[in-house]
Amino acid sequence: MYMCFTVLAGLALLTFSFLKNFPYFGEDCTYILRIIKLGIRLLGYKTIKPFYSILDCFLDAVKRHPTKIFLHFEGREYSYGEVDVQSNKVARALQAEIRLKEGDVVALFLANEPSFVWIWLGLAKLGCPAALLNFNIRSKSLLHCFSCCGAKVIIVSPELQDTVEEVLPMLREQGISVYLLSENCSIQGINTLLDKISQASDQPLSPDLRANVNIRSTALYIYTSGTTGLPKAAVITHERVWAASFLQASCGVTAEDIIYINLPLYHSAGFLIGMTGAIERGNCSLNLHRNFSASQFWDDCRKYNVTVMQYIGETLRYLCNTPKKDNDKNHKVRIAIGNGVRTDIWSEFLSRFGDIQVRELYAATEGNIGFLNYTSKIGAVGRANFVHSWFFPYTLIKFDIEKEEPVRSSEGLCIKAAKGETGLLVVKITHRTPFVGYAGNHQQNEKKRLRNVLEKGDLYFNTGDLLRLDHENFLYFQDRVGDTFRWKGENVATSEVADILILAHCILEANVYGVKVEGHEGRIGMAAVTLKEGEEFDCLDTYKQVVSYLPAYARPRFIRIQPCIETTGTFKMKKVRLVEEGFNCTYIKDPLYFLDLEKKTYVPLTEEIYRAITSREIKL
Ligand SMILES: *[C@@H]1O[C@H](CO)[C@@H](O)[C@H](O)[C@H]1NC(C)=O
Ligand SMILES: *[C@@H]1O[C@H](CO)[C@@H](O)[C@H](O)[C@H]1NC(C)=O
Ligand SMILES: *[C@@H]1O[C@H](CO)[C@@H](O)[C@H](O)[C@H]1NC(C)=O
Ligand SMILES: *[C@@H]1O[C@H](CO)[C@@H](O)[C@H](O)[C@H]1NC(C)=O
Ligand SMILES: *[C@@H]1O[C@H](CO)[C@@H](O)[C@H](O)[C@H]1NC(C)=O
Ligand SMILES: *[C@@H]1O[C@H](CO)[C@@H](O)[C@H](O)[C@H]1NC(C)=O
């Protein structure tokens, strides 16, 4: 019945599209047929017994071509077979050492290395969800990650040993065992794992060990920074893993492609769209990198015949900023998948590096909807069509930015935004579009739910994102509502930054926000602060707090000293005016400070510094 309707809907749409939207007819058709095919496959996975997970997909690939290269990393190659064997050893070592059993959560605090992949596969073989920790986090945020996912074990890369040592007493208090991916370690309370893995048997593990895993079970926890400050663990079920892994397929990636991954594997972009997406394609090779390097990127692509790349807004700009070369267009990259690129960078990227299909997508780790730019319309994240709205019943509603809430009619219902008008994206929560939510965070889950949207008693997922639909049905991403902003491709939670700032002895209150800087995507961190009675702003102490507790991208580069902080009627700090005023020292009369990385302190923001920043003499 479901399939029948899907196909009918598809046919109806084809006719409809042809008449209504002739210019995009071909692209609409290709895309719609692809998503219908994938929809049918996902339905298959929902019903098949025993459950077929992405791990089973990997194991099938191992059977088909054990010697084919799965991973390239720093000049070494690992075949499908080798990765499989390694993951068997990991699973057996963990089973013997910690008695891990189905359902136990293990936190991974690992760098982007092949071992990330086989440790995850090993856990999947035991039916254990992995919690993927961002390797930039530390102290309070790191400890918090355990309380949301319930992990009792953490596996740590040797280069992250110091970060873990800092919180070791607290970890031990919570009964968390720490395993270092090394053969030796002299710190009491840190166990080694590499020695145990190398001694373990490489025999395959029985699927009975994961017999209870099904499409609704938790496969992963992926952390997103939330408005409350501390990271929130989005629960990624196997259904979500499949849905996200299909993105490559819907972008036209084939089994012969070679995929370049330089985004962190702890994010959904690198892990789900990049890595498990490649497993779904069945025959791809992955070119894995520790981190992003603009200067190496194209040489790597040429060397390894890379055909598919991923980006986040900033990375395309970094590539465009590298010195021009004669061989810029000499490569085999044909598809770029990602999100958050500015349209001018997009155009520059294409004119410089040649005919690459840029597949801009919109999706949130915890959300229940995705859009994909499958046409060649610059600036659009996707296109509204009948099949898509049927799969994902979404709507854009009028939103009051200042009050940060939807506009409601006299009957208390939300109002649909007109075409061309920016609105809040909300998606009906249904069986097909479930909202799984965050682990152990009822309050945050409630905040993402919106009731009485178009009818009394209905229930929607509030994406917290503002989008606009144009008259040709193209969708454009406008902004994120409220308290999180993005800088260098990372979400910065303003309250987390505020919590750190007030550790400085002179600061009473802090209101953190992001401001635009000419020529940069995203917003850079800025804070308006009030000082304690009788205190002066202490540049060095504030600098010390910020640098010891916040990752580089989250540190406020500008500080504005205010006599008091303006709040709304509901005591929320007002940010809109502050954001507009930015750090323009000719306009703002309050004292302003700038985080000077060379001098290792905050310094008063002078006209000269301001000019150097806007003319990009000072790199941010
Ligand atoms: C571990 O042992 C190797 C030699 O086997 C040595 O080079 C290394 O420094 C040791 N590491 C630690 C942390 O003790
Ligand atoms: C896998 O890729 C190889 C070449 O890379 C190709 O010869 C083979 O047909 C592919 N197999 C499948 C199942 O796509
Ligand atoms: C990338 O990784 C290399 C090697 O681990 C390191 O030296 C470099 O600092 C890293 N770059 C960034 C931007 O993190
Ligand atoms: C890349 O492709 C060329 C020609 O198609 C081939 O000669 C070369 O061996 C390939 N390189 C790698 C690393 O596979
Ligand atoms: C959509 O893709 C096309 C072609 O790949 C590209 O030119 C266009 O800029 C994209 N739109 C957005 C918003 O990225
Ligand atoms: C900064 O403020 C001054 C004075 O209000 C104004 O003339 C100037 O355009 C502003 N600069 C920017 C970049 O907005």
- Per-domain residue ranges for the chain? 85-238, 367-480, 484-614
Higher pLDDT, 479 or 589: 589
Among all bound ligands, the one having the nearest atom to the CA of 185 is 1
Is the minimum distance from the CB of 373 to ligand 5 under 6 angstroms?
Answer: yes
pLDDT tens digits, one per residue of 181-210: 999 888 888 999 999 999 999 999 999 999
Joined tokens for residue 116: 């990330």
The mean per-residue pLDDT over the stretch 368-383 comes to: 65
Q: What pLDDT is attached to residue 25?
A: 63
Is the minimum distance from the CB of 587 to ligand 6 under 6 angstroms?
Answer: yes
Q: What pLDDT is attached to residue 593?
A: 97
The confidence band for 573, taking pLDDT boundaries of 50, 70 and 90, is low
φ, ψ for residue 396 (rounded to 5)? -105, 130
Q: If you measure from the C-alpha of residue 323 to the centroid of ligand 3, how many angstroms do you get, rounded to a whole number?
A: 20
CA distance linking residue 134 with residue 311, whole number of Å: 18
Residue with tokens 């077979």: 81
Higher pLDDT, 601 or 368: 601
Smallest CA-to-CA distance from 444 within 384, 375, 366 is with 366
CA distance linking residue 337 with residue 359, whole number of Å: 5
Instruction: Give yes or no for residue 147 having a pLDDT over 90.
Output: no
pLDDT tens digits, one per residue of 48-68: 888 999 999 999 999 999 999
Least confident span in 37-41, 164-168, 259-263, 315-319? 37-41
Q: What pLDDT is attached to residue 176?
A: 92
The conformation of residue 207, written as its DSSP 8-state character, comes to G
CA distance linking residue 595 with residue 618, whole number of Å: 11
pLDDT tens digits, one per residue of 502-546: 889 999 889 999 998 988 878 899 999 999 989 999 999 999 999
CATH code for the domain defined by 484-614: 3.30.300.30
Which residues have C-beta within 8 Å of that of residue 201, sequence separation ≥ 6?
Answer: 88, 89, 92
Q: Are 104 and 147 in contact (CB under 8 A)?
A: no
Smallest CA-to-CA distance from 181 within 196, 168, 167, 166 is with 196
The confidence band for 108, taking pLDDT boundaries of 50, 70 and 90, is very high
The mean per-residue pLDDT over the stretch 569-593 comes to: 81
pLDDT tens digits, one per residue of 388-436: 777 778 889 998 765 678 999 999 999 999 988 888 999 888 877 777 7
Q: What pLDDT is attached to residue 567?
A: 61
The mean per-residue pLDDT over the stretch 152-171 comes to: 92
Q: If you measure from the C-alpha of residue 615 to the centroid of ligand 6, how many angstroms do you get, rounded to a whole number?
A: 14
Q: Which atom of ligand 3 is nearest to the CA of 159?
A: 5
Q: If you measure from the C-alpha of residue 285 to the centroid of ligand 2, how many angstroms do you get, rounded to a whole number?
A: 11
Backbone φ/ψ region at 519: left (φ over 0), alpha (ψ -120 to 50), beta: left
For 485, what's the count of Cα atoms within 13 Å in the CB-facing half-sphere? Answer: 23
Q: If you measure from the C-alpha of residue 339 to the centroid of ligand 5, how many angstroms do you get, rounded to a whole number?
A: 10
Pocket lined around ligand 2, Cβ cut-off 6 Å: 64, 255-256, 282-283
Is the minimum distance from the CB of 409 to ligand 1 under 6 angstroms?
Answer: no
Cis peptide before 556 (omega within 30 of 0): no
Return the residue whose CA atom lies nearest to atom 5 of ligand 4: 305
Joined tokens for residue 181: 């991916």
The confidence band for 267, taking pLDDT boundaries of 50, 70 and 90, is confident
Q: What pLDDT is attached to residue 15?
A: 45
Radius of gyration of the chain (CA): 25
The mean per-residue pLDDT over the stretch 139-148 comes to: 83
Give the DSSP per-residue string, 551-575. -GGGS-SEEEE-SS--B-TTSPBP-
Longest Cα–Cα distance of the chain, Å, equals 73
CA distance linking residue 391 with residue 432, whole number of Å: 7
Is the minimum distance from the CB of 571 to ligand 6 under 6 angstroms?
Answer: no
pLDDT above 70 covers what percent of the chain? 87
The mean per-residue pLDDT over the stretch 483-496 comes to: 77
Return the residue whose CA atom lies nearest to atom 13 of ligand 4: 304
| Domain 367-480 and domain 484-614 have a common topology | no
The confidence band for 368, taking pLDDT boundaries of 50, 70 and 90, is low
CA distance linking residue 181 with residue 64, whole number of Å: 30
CATH of 367-480, one of 2.40.128.120, 2.30.38.10, 3.40.640.10, 1.20.1260.10: 2.30.38.10
Instruction: Give yes or no for residue 345 having a pLDDT over 50.
Output: yes
Q: What pLDDT is attached to residue 372?
A: 64
Is the minimum distance from the CB of 123 to ligand 5 under 6 angstroms?
Answer: no
Instruction: Give yes or no for residue 229 having a pLDDT over 80.
Output: no
Hey, which residues does 395 pair with through a beta bridge? 426
Q: If you measure from the C-alpha of residue 292 to the centroid of ligand 3, how many angstroms do you get, rounded to a whole number?
A: 8
Pocket lined around ligand 4, Cβ cut-off 6 Å: 304-305
Q: What pLDDT is attached to residue 575?
A: 80
Asked if the 85-238 domain carries CATH number 3.40.50.410, the reply is no
Q: If you measure from the C-alpha of residue 446 to the centroid of ligand 4, how many angstroms do you get, rounded to a whole number?
A: 52
